[in-house]
Amino acid sequence: MSVTAQSTKSNPFEAERNGLQLRRSIVNKLSIILTGFFAICASLFLIYLIGYIAAKGLQFINANFFTQRPRAPGETGGGWATALQGSAILITLATIIGVPLGMAVGIFLSEVGRGPFASFVRFLVDTLTGIPTIIFGLFAWVLIVVPSHSFSAVSGGVALGIIMIPTVARATEEVLRLVPNDQREASAALGATHSRTIMQVVVPAARSGIVTGVMLALARVAGETAPLLMTAGGTPFFNTNLFHQIDAIPLRIFNFTLSPYQIERDQAFSGALVLIVFVVITSLAVRWATGGFKRRGR
């Protein structure tokens, strides 16, 4: 163990030329190449997918697409206006149902709830996120569609609204927790009641975060197909009666995908393109707003 080195090499800091060191070096380089390959494949797949859908879908994106209702295959000039209108109505309904309920849960968990009951609520709401969305469709189907013998916008809105609840609740709770306590204390010191403090001081302070959470939920819900299959039903006609069938973009995409008519199958790509653009842009906006780009430092 003395310093007069026992190594017989001139340079003790060189790799020994044996199988083990060679293997270590190869494995190391291989791991970089292999993992890099995986990462590039995953990223390239996304680019390919969006690119393909865009390439096939752009041909039908014109004024008709946004203004005309679908026409029978063979007729020209059809569009997806019914689906756009239907999706808009459904999303609005979902927001009306999902946002107040979700915010209430979020406010409860952050400001009011204590102890085992709050944990129970949080647990239940968290389980909602893991449930496949078709279950919500089934739920609304059994409760509304089956007894009323008809598809309806209302049932679709209910299903989608329930899907929104956990996303809105979690975002609300997180953002409310971030509001510094001195704001609550200052409000209390001014004599405000607990409820006024929450609704007029804390929640407004967290307003942008809550909006972001709602947008995230919207993006998620806009692309949902399974629950709508069983509730909204789809239709090629404009419809503002909430108790009748209503069209929606994901529904139309799904049905057109399975259509025997080539022209409808081609149009499905256009619908998918519009949907992807909406969903991806909304997600991007959310990420940008929350500084998600900065947070992902590594």
Which residues inside 256-285 make contact with other proteins, applying CB under 8 A? 257-258, 265, 268-269, 272, 275-276, 279-280, 283
Ranges within 166-205 binding other proteins (CB under 8 A): 169, 193-196, 198-199
Q: How far apart are CA 133 and CA 94, in angstroms?
A: 14
CA Rg value for the chain:
27
The size of the interface with other proteins (CB under 8 A), counted in residues, is: 98
Minimum distance from residue 97 beta carbon to other proteins (Å): 10
With CB under 8 A as the contact rule, which of the stretches 59-67, 81-89, 206-214, 251-259 interacts with other proteins?
251-259
Let me know: does 291 contact 212? Beta carbons within 8 Å: no
For other proteins, the binding residue among 55, 88, 96, 131 (CB under 8 A) is 131
Least spacing, CB of residue 229 vs other proteins, in Å: 6
83, 84, 144, 162: which one contacts other proteins (CB under 8 A)? 162
Shortest Å, Cβ 283 to other proteins: 5
CA-CA distances (angstroms) from residue 225 to 18, 87, 196, 251, 255? 59, 11, 40, 6, 10
Ranges of beta strands (E only) in the chain are: none
Whether 162 contacts 100, CB under 8 Å: no
Query: Of 41-60, which residues contact other proteins (CB under 8 A)?
Result: 41-43, 45-47, 49-50, 52-53
x/- track of binding to other proteins for residues 206-225 (CB under 8 A): -------------x--xxxx
Q: Which is nearer to other proteins, 242 or 279 (CB)?
A: 279
Distance CA 291, CA 37 (A): 29
CB-nearer residue toward other proteins: 244 or 287:
287
Comparison of 153 and 268: residue with beta carbon closer to other proteins: 268
DSSP SS3 for 167: helix
Question: Per CB under 8 A, which of residues 110..129 are in contact with other proteins?
Answer: 112, 121, 124-129
d(CA 115, CA 135): 30
> Which range of residues in 40-48, 74-82, 175-183, 206-214 is near other proteins by CB under 8 A?
40-48
Q: Are the CB atoms for 179 and 187 separated by under 8 Å?
A: no
CA 220: distance to chain centroid? Answer: 3
- Residue 136: strand, helix, or coil: helix
**Could you tell me which residues come within 8 angstroms of residue 127 by beta carbon, excluding any fewer than 6 positions away?**
none
Two structure tokens written together for 250: 């994901």
Q: Shortest Cβ distance from residue 69 to other proteins (Å)?
A: 20
Residue from 248, 174, 247, 250 nearest 216 by CA: 174
Binding positions for other proteins, 78-117, rule CB under 8 A:
100-101, 104-105, 107-108, 112
Kindly state whether residue 22 participates in binding other proteins, applying the rule CB under 8 A.
no
**At closest approach, how far in Å is the CB of 36 from other proteins?**
5
